Amino acid sequence: MNSTPARITKAVIPVAGLGTRFLPATKATPKEMLPVVDKPAIQYVVEEAVSAGMSDVLMVTGRNKRPLEDHFDRNYELEETLRRKGDNDKLERACAPTDLGDIHYVRQGDPLGLGHAVLCAAPHVGHEPFAVLLGDDLIDPRDPLLSRMTEIRAQYGGSVVALMEVDPGQIHLYGCAAVERTADGDTVRITDLIEKPAPGEAPSNYAVIGRYVLDPEIFDVLRGTEPGRGGEIQLTDALRELSTGTTGGPVHGVVFSGRRYDTGDRAEYLRATVRLACERKDLGPEFRSWLHAFVAADTGGRPDIAAGPGLLRPAA
Ligand code: G1P
């Protein structure tokens, strides 16, 4: 154990990525601004950080990411118009992102990789433990993960990553961890890490998902981390050094078994939108009935309603 447990108040969210998987939607709009139901994906991520007590949020941005700053800033004209109309519900929704926390921005400049993006946060973070949240991963708010990770950091020191067991055929898409059990059922000690292993080289099917609680020692390691997979400076490689080295460790993994949506993938993004819409109190009941009818029609179970426009009518 290398440092005393401290409350973690800072979160870093790298948002400099180009989002090419969503072209053309992301040609002029940052991928983080794509709505999941009626809220941009990034807002869910900031809400998650804030609800785990991390109200100091640093976004590591790049070119064309101005809409993110505008989203979390005031929009006086809009607010004034809604206030004048007395439309408090919409006013509340417009102000919610601004009232979330204390949001800061730093530009990454050169897109040298996730490890480099995290290193850009060093001057803001200083010498304290901090969290990193990747914007492509949405964690369902009913399955808190970050607060469990901070508990594990308080217990063991060092750094903590979130892991999920994935189909072995998918592990090449992720950082992959070699692990040992601990006395805590959901927690493992990480003994090695490989970024996006080639088939046959993965030591397990434990995938790193986009949540990290990091010891500030990571910055020193990142300063010396050579470009790795894809010619980029990889956070996984720096964590590997912490997990196998003598300072700055240990590295633990919390095995997450809750609901996670990868909004960086088009099919998963659609699933996330449908699931979250179904669960919304305001939209859910009507949307669910429509969806049941749609699926039944699609599978031939309800040929009577397969005629198209009828599907869009509110369910009785
Ligand atoms: C990044 C990390 C990878 C991790 C993944 C989780 O990769 O480098 O280790 O498993 O996020 O989403 P990316 O998906 O940004 O290529």
User: What is the structure's pLDDT at 313?
Assistant: 42
In this prediction, residue 275 carries a pLDDT of 94
Share of the chain above pLDDT 70, in %: 93
**Mean pLDDT within 235-242:** 97
Q: Do 107 and 184 fall into the same domain? A: no
Last-in-domain residue among 118, 143, 168: 143
Q: Are residues 119 and 177 in the same domain?
A: no
Q: Are residues 24 and 121 in the same domain?
A: yes
100 & 23 share domain? yes
Residue 96 within a domain: yes
Shared-domain flag, residues 122 and 207: no
Pick from 137, 170, 173 the residue to mutate for probing ligand 1's pocket: most ligand atoms within 8 Å of its CB: 173
- pLDDT higher than threshold 90 for residue 300: no
Q: Do 137 and 161 fall into the same domain?
A: no
Residues 6+ apart with CB under 8 A from 265: 21, 136
Whether residues 137 and 22 fall in one domain: yes
80: three-class secondary structure by DSSP: helix
Give pLDDT, residue 298.
83
Nearest CA owner, ligand 1 atom 10: 174
Q: How far is the CA of 250 from the centre of ligand 1 (A)?
A: 21
pLDDT of residue 64: 85
* Beta pairing partners, 137: 262
In tens, the pLDDT along 203-233 reads 999 999 999 999 999 999 999 999 999 999 9
Taking each helix axis from N to C end, the angle separating 266-279 and 284-298, rounded to the nearest 10 degrees, works out to 130
- The residue whose CA has the least distance to atom 15 of ligand 1 is 114
206 CA to centre of own chain:
17
CATH of residue 237's domain is 3.90.550.10
Residue 84 has pLDDT above 70, yes or no: yes
Task: Render pLDDT for 37-50 as a digit per residue (tens, 0 to 9).
Answer: 999 999 999 999 99
Which pLDDT score, from 0 to 100, does residue 1 have? 45
**292 within domain boundaries:** yes
Give the residue whose CA is nearest to atom 11 of ligand 1. Answer: 210
Can you give the residue range of the structural domain that contains 25? Answer: 7-143
| One domain, residues 131 and 11 | yes
Residues 130 and 171 in one domain: no
Per-residue pLDDT tens over the stretch 163-194 = 999 999 999 999 999 999 999 889 999 999 99
Q: Which of 248, 294, 281, 270 lies closest to 127, judged by CA?
A: 248
Establish if 315 belongs to a structural domain: no
60 neighbors 13 (Cβ within 8 angstroms) = yes
Domain count, the chain: 3
> What average pLDDT does range 303-310 have in this prediction?
46
pLDDT of residue 246: 75
- The pLDDT, as a whole number, for residue 94 is 95
Q: Which pLDDT score, from 0 to 100, does residue 19 have?
A: 87
Write the pLDDT tens digit of every residue in 271-281: 999 999 999 99
- Residue 266 belongs to a domain: no
Mean pLDDT, residues 128-137: 96
- Pocket residues: Cβ below 6 A from ligand 1: 114, 134, 136-137, 174-175, 195, 207-210, 234-236
244 assigned to some structural domain: yes
What does 91-126 look like in DSSP terms, one character per residue?
A: HHHHHHHHHS-EEEEEE--S---HHHHHHTTHHHH-
pLDDT band at 311 (very low <50, low <70, confident <90, very high): very low
Give residue 18's pLDDT band: very low, low, confident or very high (50, 70, 90): confident
Question: Is 265 inside any structural domain?
Answer: no
What integer pLDDT is reported at residue 110 of this predicted model?
A: 87
Q: Specify the range with the lowest mean pLDDT, choosing from 2-11, 110-119, 197-206.
A: 2-11
